[in-house]
Structure 1
Amino acid sequence: MRSPSLLRLFDGEWSDSYELYRELRKDGPVQWDRWMRAWIVLDHAEIAALSKDPRLSGARIDSFYEQLPAETRAGLAPLRDALADMMLFNEPPRHTKLRRLIRPGLTPRFVREMRPVIEDTVNGLLDRVLPSGRMDVIHDFSEPLTRDVIRRLAGIEQTHAHQIENWQGLLHEFFTQSQTQVPRIKALRETFAEGQRARREGTAEDLFSRMIAGQLGEADYTENEIFANFLLLIDAGQATTTHLIGNAVLALTAFPDQMRLLRESPELAANAAHEFLRFDSPVQFTSRVALADLEAGGRQIRAGDSVALVLGAGNRDPRHYPDPDRLDVRRKAHDHLSFGHGIHYCLGAALAVAETEIAIATLLRRTDDLRLAETEQAWLESANFRFLRRLPIQFTPVR
């Protein structure tokens, strides 16, 4: 595969996504990727505009599913059922209905109330590893942090916490036709069903049930719609934030001057969280299907064409961000593309920023001489997700 393509991220020549984006950008901000059979969009302004364009639809689960062999469809059916009813993969008016289910719960007040929980969890995790002077950022820190926050948010009892351990992105599983997460989804559905009656009656005490209680009487939500968006909380709130924190620590080791600046000025941590999202987003592109003919970047996109909005490339667009390949925790990067735009803007954005801000600021406050324990990084094999499999680091505890 020698011609330009996002899929070249799978060959050894392109271990760095951003180096490939720079190469692809030479052929223009919008181009046809014949290997992906999709238009790829690399320009910040074009991605921001197309993210809000109603002529592009994110409802792409069923179109992919129906093209699969019957045997594969049967095995993936539980995963398809979960994804197809998530708000993320629907458009108005159904998207509006599904978003209304959860939106009232993820308020600024809720995030403020969660901050002490996040702080306690972060400090507890660091207490375990500080004496050894080393840890795996993913497995010892960011994954258990986000798992515990989402467990509380989703109302999963501690006895069922194992059901969301080492969570992988469901969309990656679906498009790679993997069935490894299907048993987990079935087990979670059984756990979730235990509270169905209390949830409908308004007597359930868990956070998720209280979050959606006011909406259940206003619209006719099916149990699968409720379960699917319960899974979306776990999927978007756990896997992506886990790897946002991991990618942030990796970036800081590459830019020690920025690590030093954050230690000296911890008040920059909230701003830095947005710069981490810009610099190395866990989600690198999102796909759409054209519902009508449109023009983008001087190219004609026809109805029915697939379009990949390459968020990672837009976040490093040199026409939008000066010196885009440099991490700068003072940079005002709140217009990054990682949370999406328009009606699909991430509902959990404020919570993800809070978790990242607290995790990074506390890690830097309680350690010194933080450095990588391995020179090579192991990434999930994916053209879309920048997920570290592990990130061992060493440090000196601050007493």
Structure 2
Amino acid sequence: MPDPQTPSLLNLFSPEWSSDPYTFYRELRETSPVYFDEWMRTWVILGYDEISRLSKDERLSGARIDSFHEQLPAEVRADIKPLKNALSDMMLFNEPPRHTRLRQLIKPGLTPRFIREMRPTIEKLADELLDRVVEQGRMDVIHDFSEPLTRGVVARLAGVPDKAAHLLENWPGLLHEFFTQSRNEIARITQLREAFDEGGRERRDGTGTDLFTQVIAEQLQHGDFSDDEIFANFLLLIDAGQATTTHLIGNAVLALVNNPGQWELLRDRPDLGVKAAHELLRYDSSVQFTTRVALTDIEVLGTRIPKDDSVTLLLGSGNRDPSHYEDPDRLDVTRRAADHLSFGHGIHYCLGASLAVAEIDVALRRLLERTRDMRLVETQPVWLDSINFRFLKRLPVTFEPVH
């Protein structure tokens, strides 16, 4: 662990900061808005304006999977190669022109109309899950509600066959698995690929009835996409649509339980749902930073960042920057916060952003309609041991059922 006096994101592993990284970000932002993290070997950018600008700067590249993989010991490289292959074919970790082509595979299908058509499915799933627990007056928000909700949505969206649906249970963040050099999920990915390949012919000729086939059908008719590329971005839908959204909902519920006045305001003003979802995304996102590589020397706030150096854009810090948001540490569901950084900016803006917002909105509406006086069972929430992913391991609550 770095010396507490040495600026490093690794300090977030300490008990002092793991539950509340935002105070740590504030102290760093006020003293070192751009600094080189000696322990993580990356430049860290903490201000909203700089993060927003650099997110759209073509001199920074998100294509970092292959270079990281190449630096690993040969044995580790071989063990996690299936994970590396999947990630390196995702649009998220590519730059133009390949990024543009891969993004075109999915983007035309995730239209506002498609999201509206998905909403009844989300609502039905949320009701079915609450039917199982609401009379008990207690549940684990993560395991009983948000995780099975997002898993059900993703299973329908990605067209995961029923016999493979169990492979989505307890889905990890694949990027977290890769950068921690974990071999744990290789078997899961292999089995998903086998299930995915079974529907390959129907997907190619457009006769598949699952939503994923419908989303990409036209693009397959006009674009040249390999099966590996299609599978990788199928996995991206699962990874972004399940793990991150599960914990966006969990973090939103935690924030509202800790701010009961905002809960009640939402109860009285359900029309604030989408605005509240964006504010909750700003307030405590499940993904705290993203990393790029400098393609040339660049200057940020008077600091020169050399070519080939790693650059970490600390989204969680930018979302709490007082130069952009008034009183940023206060949760305010009436705030205009749709310009938050949690979905990224520029060409890497999250394609599933509208779907995630819809899921958060539906989840909170249903909880408000069917529960009252929600309280935490554990005063100290337990988080995944990670400095990037704000994932709750569990969130047990009690409440009064609403009849």
TM-score interval w.r.t. the shorter chain?
over 0.9
Aligned residue number for residue 346 of structure 1: 350
Cα drift, residue 14 of structure 1: 1.7
For each residue in 1:107-147, what CA deviation from the matched residue of structure 2 results, as whole angstroms up to 9, or x when unmatched?
00000001111111111111110110000000000000000
Q: 2:132 aligns with which of 128, 132, 147?
A: 128
Tell me the distance in 1 between the aligned counterparts of 2:169 and 2:15: 30
Local SS of the residue matching 2:338 = coil
Alignment RMSD (CA, Å): 0.8
Q: Which residue of 2 aligns with 1:102?
A: 106
Letter of the structure 2 residue corresponding to residue 10 of structure 1: F
Match for residue 302 of structure 1 among 284, 291, 306: 306
TM-score (structure 2 length as normaliser): 0.98
TM-score, normalisation: structure 1: 0.99
- Cα distance in structure 1, aligned partners of 2:15 and 2:376: 22
How far, CA to CA, are the matches of 1:161 and 1:372 in structure 2?
31
2:280 to 273, 276, 298: 276
Q: Deviations over 1:87-118 (max 9, x none)?
A: 00000000000000001110000000011111
How far apart, CA to CA, are the structure 1 residues paired with 2:311 and 2:104?
27
- Indicate the SS of the match to 1:14: helix
State yes or no: 1:190 paired with 2:202: no
Matched residue of 1:217: which SS? helix
Contact 2:161-2:195 at 8 Å conserved across structures: no
Q: Secondary structure at the match of 1:394?
A: strand
Distance 1:26 1:210 in 2: 49
Deviation at 1:308, TM superposition (A): 0.3
Per-residue deviation at 1:196?
1.0
Which residue does the alignment assign to 1:30?
34
Match of 2:115 in 1: 111
Structure 1 CA distance, aligned partners of 2:73 and 2:164? 34
CA distance in 1 between partners of 2:239 and 2:258 (Å): 28
Per the alignment, residue 62 of structure 2 pairs with: 58
1:262 and 1:190 map into 2 onto residues whose CA distance is 44
- Whether 1:266 aligns to 2:270 is yes
- Letter paired with 1:361: R
1:28 to partner: Cα distance: 2.8
Whether 1:236 and 2:240 are equivalent positions in the alignment is yes
Q: Does 1:12 align with 2:15?
A: yes
Match of 1:183, SS state, is helix
1:219 correspondence with 2:223: yes
For 2:88, the equivalent position in structure 1 comes to: 84
What is the alpha-carbon distance in structure 2 between the residues aligned to residue 298 and residue 335 of structure 1?
25
Deviations 1:9-56 (A, max 9, x none): 112232221121012113232111111111101000000000000000
The offset of 1:334, in angstroms, is 0.5
Which secondary structure state, in structure 1, belongs to the residue aligned with residue 71 of structure 2? coil
Asked if residue 162 in structure 1 is aligned to residue 162 in structure 2, the reply is no
Q: Aligned partners of 1:297, 1:261: CA distance in 2, in Å?
A: 40
**Tell me, which stretches of 5 or more residues in structure 1 are unaligned?**
none
Identity of aligned residues (%): 66
Deviation of 1:387 after TM superposition, in Å, equals: 0.3
**Aligned pairs, number:** 399
Q: Give 1:150 deviation, angstroms.
A: 0.5
Alpha-carbon distance in 2 for matches of 1:21, 1:154: 36
Query: Distance in 2 between the 1:14 and 1:340 partners?
Result: 24
1:184-243, Cα deviation, whole Å (9 max, x unpaired): 000000000101122122222211112111111322211110000000000001111100
Q: What residue ranges of structure 2 are gaps of 5+ in the alignment?
A: none
Instruction: For 1:178 and 1:24, locate their aligned partners in 2 and report how far apart those are by CA, in whole Å.
Output: 30
- Distance in 2 (CA, whole Å) between partners of 1:68 and 1:292 is 24
Amino acid at match of 1:82: A
Q: Deviations over 1:224-265 (max 9, x none)?
A: 100000000000011111000000000011111101111111
Which residue number in structure 2 is paired with residue 205 of structure 1? 209
